[in-house]
Structures are given as C-alpha cells and as structure tokens.
Amino acid sequence: MPGSLGGETVVITGGAVRLGRAIAFECARSGASVAISYNHSAEQAAQTLRELKELGNGKQRFASFQADVSQSGDVEKLVRDVQRELGGATMLVNNAAIFRRTPFETMTEADFDDHIAANLKGPYLLSKYFGDVFVSQKHGAILNIADIYGLRPLKNYVPYCISKAGVVMLTQALALALAPHVRVNAICPGTILTPSETQDEDDGEALLLPKIPLGRLGTPEEIAQTAAFLLAGPGFISGAIVPVDGAQRLR
C-alpha cells in the first residue's frame, strides 16, 4: 500500500552522503532493505551502513558496494553483488551525480564528458541492467534524481544542466520502454541545504531566498519523503517529473 516499502529492496547510488543518505534512511524507515553504492566515499558509506543496521527492524538487510556507475563493468558487478548479498533488487534510485561550476569562458571538453558520464550515462547503465532484472521479475520501480536546472538553465553550469535535462528525458523514455511492470519517475530538487553546509549569508543564502517563493531552502528530508512516496506510492504514477523546489523554477 502507499507509504510502505516493506518487502522491497532499494538500491541507492551515491547513498553514503547528502541526498542519497537521506533517501536511504527514509526508505529504511518505510520498511525497505537498502543497498547503497559509492565511488570515493568509503568512510561515509561505512558510517551510513552502521546507522542503517541500527535502524533496521531485524527483517531488513543492508549493504554497501563500491562502484563507478559510469562504467558498465562496475554496474554489472553491482547487480551481481546486490543479488548475492540481498537476494536482488526491486527498486533503484539514480542519485549519484557531480555538480561543478563551469563558466563558459573556461569550460572544457573534459567538463562536458565528466558530467555526461556521471549524471546521464550512469543512470542509463543502471536503468538498463537493473531494468532488465525488474522486467524479468515483472515488478520494479526506478526513481531518478534530476534537477530544476534540467528544466531551465543555470548560468555557469552548462554541462550540468545538459546532463540533468537528459535525465528528465531518460525518465520519460524509460517510463514507456519498461511499462507495464516497471514504473519510472524523477524528482527535480531546487536549492537544498544539507547539514554539512553553513547557513551564513556569506554562502549565498541571502541571494537565493528572494528567488524561492516559499521563502526558504529545502531540506534533504523533503526530497527523501518525496522519493519514498514515489517508490511506494500509487501504482498509476509513472513518467512523472516532480519538482520539489518551493516554486523556485517559476521565478
């Protein structure tokens, strides 16, 4: 029923830190077994895994795996590892991404390639390999973390915006390709403040707030709650692109 992820196994890329970590805990609180993947955040992944195990109800299982999601070999291995450790997956959250300031005057081919590899090729590969599993078992859901700047551009972030616009289209294309047994949706976060970031005016918050009609920054918990809803929620929701941005995209 909507609101419960009991019996599901959710794979969350970039699940050791920031939004991915918040989504991992929300899925666990909703009853899911959780696998997180990380690339370079081994220490954070170990800490997150310990805390997830403390939160579990005894029936849930938790694991973490290292993977470069832009490499097909790593993705294939991740599918096998999740099968071995957790008995397979039923849901996937494509969260891992890079976000790098790239002014037009200085951006390079490598900037473009890096963003496309991490932010678009990775979700494509993961959706293909896990999607094959979900189709074969006639049950599954994929959730992509896009960005409002995949819907409208942000100056000085050209490769990032292009990659996230690709994620929006990937979501819609996969919703058709993987129907009827697999639902595919996306969240487009606005400006989200994580606990590791300061709230001083020096970090630009004073400049950002006038652009957000609701008058505040979002929280990782609000993204995580939306993620859990879309994963567990009404089975007729697929191909949806859901902004969680305090109406920031409208300004």
- Residues that are catalytic: 160
What's the distance, Cα to Cα, between the start and end of the chain in Å? 36
Token readout for 34 is 């959780």
Structure tokens at 181: 């047994």
Confirm if 183 and 141 have CB atoms less than 8 A apart: yes
Which candidate, 197, 145, 191, places its Cα nearest to that of 168? 145
> Rg for the chain (alpha carbons), in Å?
17
Tally: H helices and E strands in the chain: 8, 7
Burial 146-166 (b: 16+ CB within 10 A, else e): bbbbbbeeeeebbbbbbbbbb
Q: HEC states along 64-133?
A: EEECCCCCHHHHHHHHHHHHHHHCCCCEEEECCCCCCCECCCCCCHHHHHHHHHHHHHHHHHHHHHHHHH
